[in-house]
Amino acid sequence: MLQEPEAKAELDAIVETLVYLYTESRRLTKQAAREVGLTGPQLTVIKLLDTFGDLSLSTLSERIRAQNSTVTGIIDRMEREGLVLRERSTSDRRVVFIRLTPKGRQLAKDIVVEPMEIFRTVLSTLSRDDTRDLMRILSKLQKRVRGLVKEREAAGER
């Protein structure tokens, strides 16, 4: 274990790196979105649907870390622009899937510079062992952050 000042400096460097990655990804997303007349969240939705296929509204909300009502507004605008379609699940009528239209799919293919690709390119330079270690560590962090968020949300409800 590192001495206290060294540990704090190391943690600060990690936080600074995470903030940089987050900030750059948002900046690049907004820039790429602006170039094709979209908002950052709309571009994110298009890229997620292009990457993962049809997603339910609740899954999409979870992936972009937004409330269902916020995502509904984003999807409403995208539907009006002919980029996505809503489709009810045949097995559970309460579930609505969001699907890219051919226009939305083409737009996803046309947008070359975007954060997911930049991160994929950089991550692909890591060794398999480094990739596994990074995923293991990030998964731990994600689990802990989710736990903290749930605790804070529960405390806020009281």
Residue ranges making up the domain that contains 134: 126-158
Overall domain count for the chain: 2
Query: Within this chain, do residues 83 and 112 fall inside the same structural domain, yes or no?
Result: yes
Residue 75: Cβ within 10 Å count? 22
Query: Within this chain, do residues 103 and 137 fall inside the same structural domain, yes or no?
Result: no
Structure tokens, 53: 């296929």
- Region 36-52 average pLDDT: 89
Query: Within this chain, do residues 132 and 118 fall inside the same structural domain, yes or no?
Result: no
Query: Within this chain, do residues 9 and 58 fall inside the same structural domain, yes or no?
Result: yes
Query: Within this chain, do residues 72 and 88 fall inside the same structural domain, yes or no?
Result: yes
Maximum separation of any 2 CA atoms in the chain, in Å: 58
pLDDT digits (tens, 9 = 90+) for 107-128: 988 886 666 778 888 899 999 9
94 backbone dihedrals φ, ψ, rounded to 5°? -75, -20
Structure tokens, 25: 């990804």
Query: Within this chain, do residues 114 and 44 fall inside the same structural domain, yes or no?
Result: yes
Query: Within this chain, do residues 53 and 131 fall inside the same structural domain, yes or no?
Result: no
> Do 99 and 52 meet the contact criterion of CB atoms below 8 Å apart?
no
How far apart CA 131 and CA 129 sit, in angstroms, is 5
| Residue 65 pLDDT level (bands cut at 50, 70, 90) | confident
pTM: 0.66
Looking up residue 45, the CATH number of its domain turns out to be 1.10.10.10
- Region 15-35 average pLDDT: 87
Query: Within this chain, do residues 121 and 142 fall inside the same structural domain, yes or no?
Result: no
> Do 92 and 54 meet the contact criterion of CB atoms below 8 Å apart?
no
3-state secondary structure of 2: coil
Query: Within this chain, do residues 89 and 63 fall inside the same structural domain, yes or no?
Result: yes
Query: Within this chain, do residues 11 and 86 fall inside the same structural domain, yes or no?
Result: yes
